[in-house]
A and B are shown apart, each in its own frame.
Chain A
């Protein structure tokens, strides 16, 4: 049997530098906010059949589903930890959706969290590993910076166009209450900020952020028990790739994103032109620019013009990252995808406040994740729609 899956509740929390909050505190806060958010209420011990939990466990406190039980009191439930680099949260969601589709569960919680500030050495130390032919000091900014260099060379994309992504997302983030970075910046500010990995500067990079987020998904027969205004999951897909394979556009783009998007569009029976709002992976400014092209929001090489002409602003025809994206809202890895889904849920229900897009029907959520010293990537796309 298969059944339609709906999102019926979402819990966000303020992303930021939370020195006063532990890993468990983050999970607990997102969980309590989620319970509060469900329109008709939810009795978690009775209603939730299973939990999918996303964290890459930077702080080394979150290994295994039992971590969620400790933070939420939800013991005795099947809780699965999902780890898939920066696509961890969106893949946790995808797994919960599959379980409900299959009928093995009727109600599932997806919760993601990352306590980045207790230990970010993990990420930086990886860069310091001695690897022949895989470089030394291949940090995340380096990997994405290489795409920026090549994109500028191949398509004539300008430094200013890349900076426009960061300007737009900081502008949005300053209006979004949960965002970590609450300031606006100009193209000149981005260009004048310290160089991290030429051609990318500090304001091209997402901050180091703590946070958690949670959503509840339910089968079509029970969704109405939780809300009269559910949001349907129309498509969900995951793929992998590596630049080493030297296939089409592998120096500038992410084949994993493209294939995940193609499959999710096909499943939803729509195309990129049908997307009314999107929350996409912008760990760096250039990432969002190439993602426009990978998701089909514009043609290959046209991402710079798309942002420069304002099409992806909140009032544009394809608004991207109204929440401020990873650049302004922050990127607590395991929480990131779940938070994006929570935001799309808010957007489609018209609850997004100062960053509300005009009457969206269909929303898209996207993450990429890198691994193997940034030689491999995963891409995950989920599409939600108002039923």
Chain B
């Protein structure tokens, strides 16, 4: 994979811009498409929406067995990210960071935190990881 792939979705990856289908309300994220994956409208009428840095864990696993380059255990969650205004959330796989496995449950509220995700050659690729808000950790 090379640079242009990450450049294409920079606004989504760094500023949480999503695209809402005006026919069925489905939110396309991070892909910016001209068709709707849920209702099949083609071309679909999409409007840009702002996602927040808040999400909810819909389900999760804790990966214990992965290729050597991964740290384990690696918690991985399916997260629904809320919109700033009314509307459906965007659904993504989220990497959890700074997470105590005991506090990870279905329904846990999480925050998106801007971080370096990995490097593409020498270039850092920045985007969001998720963690349980600190004030709730007390």
A positions within 8 Å CB-CB of B: 124-125, 127-130, 132-139, 141-142, 145-147, 149-150, 153-154, 194-200, 242-247, 251, 373
For the A-B complex, the count of residue pairs with Cβ-Cβ distances under 8 Å equals 111
- Cα(A35)–Cα(B62), bound, Å: 47
- Count of chain B residues near A, Cβ 8 A: 40
Q: Please pick, from A134, A153, A200, A246, the residue contacting B88 in the complex, using a CB distance under 8 A.
A: A246
Most chain A C-beta atoms within 10 Å of own C-beta, residue among B9, B29, B59, B60:
B59
Interface residues of B in 42-100 (CB under 8 A from A): 58-67, 69-70, 73-74, 76, 78, 88, 91-95
Q: Is B19 an interface residue (CB 8 A)?
A: no
Once A132-B9, A146-B59 are accepted as A-B contacts, the answer to whether A194 and B65 lie under 8 Å apart by CB is yes
Q: Please pick, from B1, B63, B88, the residue contacting A137 in the complex, using a CB distance under 8 A.
A: B63
Cβ contacts under 8 Å, A139 to chain B: 63, 66
Most chain B C-beta atoms within 10 Å of own C-beta, residue among A138, A146, A150:
A146
Cβ contacts under 8 Å, A142 to chain B: 61, 63, 76
Q: Is B125 an interface residue (CB 8 A)?
A: yes
- Closest approach, in angstroms, between the C-beta of B11 and any C-beta of chain A? 12
Cβ contacts under 8 Å, B29 to chain A: 133
- Cα(A200)–Cα(B1), bound, Å: 30
Contact across chains for A145 and B61 when beta carbons are under 8 A apart: yes
- Cα(A233)–Cα(B4), bound, Å: 49
Cβ contacts under 8 Å, B114 to chain A: none
Q: Please pick, from A141, A195, A198, A246, the residue contacting B91 in the complex, using a CB distance under 8 A.
A: A246
Question: C-beta contact mask, B2-24 vs A, less than 8 Å → 1, else 0?
Answer: 00001001001100000000000
Which 6 residue pairs are nearest across A and B when measured between Cβ atoms? A135-B93, A145-B61, A150-B59, A198-B62, A153-B106, A133-B92
- Closest approach, in angstroms, between the C-beta of B53 and any C-beta of chain A? 14
Instruction: Write 21 A-B pairs (CB below 8 A) sorted by A numbering.
Output: A124-B67, A128-B69, A128-B70, A129-B1, A130-B120, A132-B13, A133-B30, A135-B76, A146-B61, A146-B76, A149-B61, A150-B106, A197-B64, A198-B61, A198-B62, A244-B37, A245-B38, A246-B91, A247-B38, A251-B59, A251-B78
Cβ contacts under 8 Å, A132 to chain B: 6, 9, 13, 30, 117, 125, 127
- Cα(A137)–Cα(B63), bound, Å: 8
Q: Please pick, from A130, A133, A197, A242, the residue contacting B65 in the complex, using a CB distance under 8 A.
A: A197
